[in-house]
Amino acid sequence: MTRSRARLAAPVAIALAGGAFWLLSHGTGGVSPLSLRGYAEAIDHAAAPLAAGRIAHIAVHVGQHVKPGDVLVVMETEELELKRSTARLALARANAELVAEEVVSGAAIARAELLVLRLQSTQMRDRAQLAEVEQQRARLEKLAEEKLVPLSDLERERLKEVDLATSVQVLDAATKGKQAGLGRAIGGKAGAVQIEKRLAPLREAVHIREEAVKLADLAVAEATVRAHVEGDVSLILHHEGDVVPAATELVRIATGRPGRILCWLPERQSSSFEVGRAVKLRGLPIFGASFGGRVAEISPELEEVPPRARLSPQIPMWGRRVEIESWPSHPLVLGEAVYVRL
């Protein structure tokens, strides 16, 4: 009886030894000298509002595929809309003040040009009259010497001459000193420059109001949280009606490169891998199908291994991150565990 049991035990021991060797070579859930556990790449992207507020609407659900620009969450915007309306009213008022000042400035320049033209006309008329009066006075002096005209006529003509000469001298002095608009350009380019100087502060005020409207529009637009990457919604952390601070994560989007596997090479084996090395991978089921891959990247330094990839989650481990390109027969779920055979 003992011999028969021994005969039966020998094949069983051989089978167990072979099974143990196979498990060790294909991975058993931990890290062995022959295998590692890797995980399909999963990158989490947080979507958050830039300002504090109350959530008005959640536009997505868990598992939904989103693309950049898709609406994820809409925040309440009543206060922002009020600020935008106020900014637009201020802009309209600034534009109205600018237009009114343009009209007033244009009219002021026109009035100044008219006054200058009148002064110039008076100057020309007085100069012409002075020349005529001088001739008339000279004739009267000759006639007065001959007693042909009364002296009173000559005196009136002399007074007129003095009056015109004084007026001409005043206008000539103003022209020489560039006073009262005489002797300098009023309209045309000079007038445009003067108007521009008066309008420059108002134009700057309009520009400031325009920027305020842009900021208000931007605040309203940013109240809508949009996806900035393409991926799947993996988590919704808040719900409609919640009041959240700025930069609070509302929705999480998971992404990953197809077939990209991440694993961590233990520190004691940190020099045994090299980029381009071929590896074998297999799913967690014991009799799962294997598929090929190659080492694409290796981190240049040791880093702390995530708890999920440790032998014991409570015991810290350090290793080099290894990224593997693989070609599985079916797409891997983000974060799916696989065995990596060295």
Picking from 33-47, 183-197, 256-270, which range would have the lowest pLDDT averaged per residue? 183-197
Alpha-carbon Rg for the chain, nearest whole angstrom, is 48
Signed CA dihedral, 231, 233, 237, 240: sign only: positive
**Residue 253: beta bridge partners?**
45, 233
Angle between helix axes 78-145 and 188-222 (nearest 10 degrees) is 170
Over range 282-293, report the average pLDDT: 83
- Is 198 a residue whose pLDDT tops 90? no
Position 28 pLDDT exceeds 60: no
Quick one: average pLDDT of 2-27?
52
**Position 216 confidence tier, pLDDT thresholds 50, 70, 90:** very high
Q: If you average pLDDT over every residue of the chain, what do you get?
A: 83
Q: Which is higher by pLDDT, 233 or 130?
A: 233
Per-residue pLDDT, 180: 59
pLDDT at residue 14 in the model:
57
Q: Which two tokens stand for residue 278?
A: 């071929």
More confident call, 120 vs 181: 120
Question: Is the model more confident about 294 or about 270?
Answer: 294
pLDDT of residue 9: 55
Tokens of 283: 């799913």
Tell me which residue of 290, 292, 275, 287 sits closest to 327, measured CA to CA: 292
pLDDT > 70: percent of the chain: 83
Query: Contact, 47 vs 71, CB < 8 A?
Result: no
Read off the pTM: 0.62
